């Protein structure tokens, strides 16, 4: 995962400040966790896989899963 983050952010872009990098990193992590379809998860996103597991066994989770809007704040 560290290699994926590094190659998608630091190696592709030049940042003028740490704040600019932090904002871009938050956007990338939101994309990766909620939108990117991963081959390892049978072409579903990590969020979709968690929802699927939650629907199968809701008592396995401590809290209810809320909407995608509660993702990382940018």
Q: What DSSP character marks residue 56?
A: H
Domain regions of the chain by residue span: 2-70
Residue 18 has pLDDT above 80, yes or no: yes
Residue 72 has pLDDT above 60, yes or no: no
Give the DSSP letter string of 2-52. HHHHHHHTTTT---SSHHHHHHHHHHHHHHHHHTPPBGGGTSB-HHHHHHH
pLDDT in tens, 35-70: 999 999 999 999 999 999 989 988 887 765 565 555
Contact 28, 72 (CB under 8 A): no
Residue given tokens 């396995």 in the structure block: 60
> Hey, what are 3's tokens?
């290699």
């Amino acid at each position: 995962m560290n290699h994926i983050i590094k190659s998608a952010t630091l190696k592709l872009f030049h940042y003028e400040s740490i704040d600019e990098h932090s904002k871009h990193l938050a956007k990338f992590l939101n994309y990766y966790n909620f939108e990117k379809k991963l081959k390892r998860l049978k072409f579903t996103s990590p969020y979709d896989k968690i929802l699927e597991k939650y629907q199968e066994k809701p008592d396995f989770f401590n809290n209810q899963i809320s909407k995608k809007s509660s993702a990382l704040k940018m």
